[in-house]
Amino acid sequence: MKYISIGIIMLISFIISVVITKVEIPVLKRKAGQNIREDGPQSHLSKAGTPSMGGIAIIIAASLTTIGAAVMGKIDGLGCAIILLVFVGFGLIGFFDDYLKVIKKNNLGLRAYQKFGLQTILSVILAVYLANYTEGSTSVYIPFADIYVNFGIWYIPFVVFVVLAMTNAVNLTDGLDGLASGVTAFISLFFAVAGFTYAIATGAYFCSAMCGACLGFLVFNRNPAKVFMGDTGSLALGGGLAAAAILMKLELLLPIVGLLYVIEALSVVLQVGYFKISGGKRIFKMAPIHHHFEKCGFSEVQVVAGFWIFAVLCCVAGFFII
């Protein structure tokens, strides 16, 4: 019965997401056309003007569905509130960044210190709440050893690092039609099933709702995309996924099932670092790594399909581990 709940929550969130995305596309098309980087793959130049900030639909769909579950008494209201605070909060940071870049035509958007500072504040709020008001407090589950380890005073900086790393990794992954939305749907489904398996209802319901919202958005975001999620969506997805995983004490599974996110972020770090120390040389033809494969001759659809398969395999590995 508990696994049927995953399907019901996903379906409700999927329907809401499809409806809102369909409604928002013409509105965003008038106000929020996407700018395309000139040094990117030439095939992306045709995407100029595609409406961005479509992640608004994902946020509304997942939030309404999760709140509905809380109202019905299916999940803990306080736990639901803290996850949604992080989810919506990171979405708002992305929204303001998108608003400045896409609508106000300020290419810089939020300054790096502003964006990172706001993300850090939200991450600290989550860490302090979890350390003081949740069962298990500062304990972290170690998957391979199947034990819990108390991180003590290191728990808060650990949580802050996990949230910031995951959020920005998802943001870097959002570069091809359907890539971030599809991959996040798979990973959210993993945490939904894991949560219901171990009776962690709050995180499980939220992840089910986020999976459905991503799939609903994917209807319009698949190649050729009619809408992009923008930082509004990618930051929300990263923050919400991290918050749910940490609340379920499954945060150390994030780099395993979300290995693709890690690789995407690492490719950027390596590219920038090597460029600086080598005097202008590059490891990849272009970073993040999904653009490298495009530069190698793979079509956008082929890259996305390959990355989806990789994400599914990582999720399967996660089930074997737990």
Q: Is the dihedral of CA 131, 134, 137, 141 positive or negative?
A: negative
CA distance 178 to 175: 9
CA nearest neighbour of 151 among 249, 233, 228: 249
- 295: CB partners within 8 A, 6+ apart: 41, 285, 286
What is the DSSP secondary-structure string of 22-59?
HHHHHHHHHH-BPP--TTS-GGGGGGTT-B--THHHHH
Which position has the token pair 């709440």?
Answer: 129
231 annotated ligand-binding residue:
yes
Percentages helix, strand, coil for the chain, rounded to the nearest 5? 75, 5, 25
CA nearest neighbour of 171 among 222, 98, 100: 98
Q: How far is CA 153 from the centre of its chain?
A: 27
CA distance 293 to 235: 24
Residues 163 and 246 sit within 8 Å (Cβ to Cβ): yes
CA distance 229 to 51: 9
SS3 284: coil
Q: Which residues are annotated as a binding site for Mg(2+)?
A: 171, 231
